[in-house]
Structure formats: structure tokens, C-alpha cells
Amino acid sequence: MHCAVSAVSLIAGMLVFVGLFTQPAALVLAVISLARVRDKDDRLLYLLLFAMALSLLFSGAGFFAFDLPL
């Protein structure tokens, strides 16, 4: 299970980096980081990653992305 979540987060991170399917990938990253907030260590890191994913989810990738905003 942990390996599958790691693989999904790696693929979603690569999609966000490239600018392809940014908003669906940001939604996946937001769900994963929100689930990880419950851990005692690295809580602030995952809260910041959640905020970053929500920002990409609502604003889109930007002008130089390969996809169009939803």
C-alpha cells in the first residue's frame, strides 16, 4: 500500500512539474498530503504541500503549461 501511494505521488509530482494534467494531479497530491497531516512528525511540511496543491488546483498551471485549465 505504501509503495502504491509513493508511486502515485511520484507520478503526480512529475505531471505537475511538466505541466500536463496539472489540476487533476494537484487534486491527487492534495488528498495524499491531507492524509499525511495526521502524522506527528512532518505535519508542517504536509500542510505546506497541501496548500501548494490547493493553489495549483484552483489557479491552474499557468501560461507555459501543456494543458488548459479546467
The DSSP 8-state label assigned to residue 41 in this structure reads T
Reply yes or no on whether the pLDDT at 11 is more than 70.
yes
Distance CA 52, CA 17 (A): 13
The CA distance from 49 to 66, in Å, is 22
- For the chain, domain boundaries: 2-59
- 49 backbone dihedrals φ, ψ, rounded to 5°: -65, -35
| pLDDT exceeds cutoff 90 at 68 | no
Neighbours of 64 (CB within 10 A): 6
Contact 23, 65 (CB under 8 A): no
Structure confidence by residue, pLDDT tens digits, 16-64: 998 889 999 999 999 999 988 887 788 999 999 999 999 999 988 877 7
